[in-house]
Structure 1
């Protein structure tokens, strides 16, 4: 089982507290009637059966499933609540458990409609039980009962649905990170084929031709050998450019793509500062840093918020990517090491800060006074 995100753990704790409070209320009222005139009843112990059935249904509902043997357990729950009423157990609040379990278990296009029958039964039984208490009390009861019913039943159902949606969001976030990695691998593979295939074929041809001409035409063989070295250097430059993606990466495009990707993963993202007008090398380097940093946010954190900040000072520009809820020491070591190497090549620095609830990636690069960026 995958580790729960902070949001999933919070929802789990809220659900435990909600069930403890609501089910405890049912059991205590059934046993004591809170000291009311009706008094308690030993048959109130049946409320423990009702509580156990509800817990069984809720545990399955938070996983997006129907509980095992649910027809039998739902029938037991309804029968227990009916029996409690027939045996004189005070209070009728157990019907909200019937409503909540019906929504969780019974099929239908509008599952919340299953709350209505249980609410009507609870209202009718409650009004019959308190018919001699005066019109004012009955009017108050007619408002109080649906409110408590809907808060109790609705709370249990909405909690289960929220847990299911958070689990789905966690899976989608992991899938998005995997898709981003696969797309990058495909890009590198495609570029290597397109850029190096022709160069390496030319290297083979030039090498074979130089070998054949070595004894026949040494001067031309020398020129072919020089051409071979030129092609090899060009191929090496293409390889480096493909690996670092210097020609394809643009900072503005990477920031826009990062915002879309984080937003799709449910991460609130804020971008501040002015990175426009950078020289080509610095623009490409920071674009790669955004790609690496955002990939780490998706793959190595449970983040709900991410900030990308650009801070200019005379002759320098600092970019900071900060996210909450880091899951570990952060990032792929090879990815950050490679990024740090490229930052150093431009005379910059890369710094990582990892705290209990924060992860920050700082990239600081010098910016020459002549700012010649990508053509607009």
Structure 2
């Protein structure tokens, strides 16, 4: 009976996650939600106070990155600290948790982020951080670089 209850809760959480992923995301709201979720999980949060430097055409994609990165930190890392860094061209989430072993295949969330970022001319890197823990980086390449990468060689 306990297993059935656990499976039911897990299925409900996955449905909620899917539904929330289909809503229009707001970077400011995601950061506010991340702050509360990390606090509730007992994880020290180092988050930006504003999103003004991020162009509007990137904010929704970056909001999804923040949601996925912070959710993964809370669910999987065992971290004590999580930092989010924003620039006009990138968002990075780094935690001090256990990370995942090198070569671990990306899950559905990271795969979905890869597709979202590709749609706005960007890319995603995810894996162990150089100093330990886990790092998720999403960056949008300048238009000229994105166009140059698509041109055939020679």
Global fold match (TM > 0.5): yes
Q: Which of 60, 82, 97 does residue 306 from structure 1 map onto?
A: 82
Aligned-residue CA RMSD (Å) = 2.9
Note closer, same or farther for the CA distance 1:254–1:331 as it changes in structure 2 (3 Å cut): farther
Q: 1: CA distance between counterparts of 2:51 and 2:37?
A: 20
Note closer, same or farther for the CA distance 1:265–1:277 as it changes in structure 2 (3 Å cut): same
- Greater relative contact order (CA < 8 Å, ≥ 6 in sequence): 2
**Match runs of 1:20-31 below 5 Å:** none
Q: 2: CA distance between counterparts of 1:252 and 1:258?
A: 10
Q: Which of 69, 87, 91 does residue 319 from structure 1 map onto?
A: 91
Q: Does 1:348 find its partner at 2:122?
A: yes
For normalisation by structure 1, the TM-score amounts to 0.31
Residue of structure 1 in register with 2:113 after alignment: 339
Q: 1: CA distance between counterparts of 2:91 and 2:34?
A: 14
Q: Which of 133, 146, 153 does residue 358 from structure 1 map onto?
A: 133
Q: Does 1:258 find its partner at 2:34?
A: yes
8 A Cα contact 2:98 2:134, kept in partner: yes
The structure richer in strand per residue is: 2
The structure richer in helix per residue is: 1
Q: 2: CA distance between counterparts of 1:259 and 1:350?
A: 22
**Match runs of 1:122-271 below 5 Å:** 182=13, 185-186=15-16, 188=18, 244-245=22-23, 247=24, 249-271=25-47
8 A Cα contact 2:21 2:64, kept in partner: no
Note closer, same or farther for the CA distance 1:185–1:331 as it changes in structure 2 (3 Å cut): farther
Q: For structure 1, which segment, 353-362 or 271-280, has the greater mean C-alpha deviation from structure 2 after superposition?
A: 271-280
Q: 2: CA distance between counterparts of 1:244 and 1:277?
A: 25
Tell me, which stretches of 5 or more residues in structure 2 are unaligned?
Answer: 1-8, 144-154
For normalisation by structure 2, the TM-score amounts to 0.71
Tell me, which stretches of 5 or more residues in structure 1 are unaligned?
Answer: 1-177, 190-241, 369-376
Report how many aligned residue pairs link the two structures.
Answer: 131
8 A Cα contact 2:54 2:86, kept in partner: no
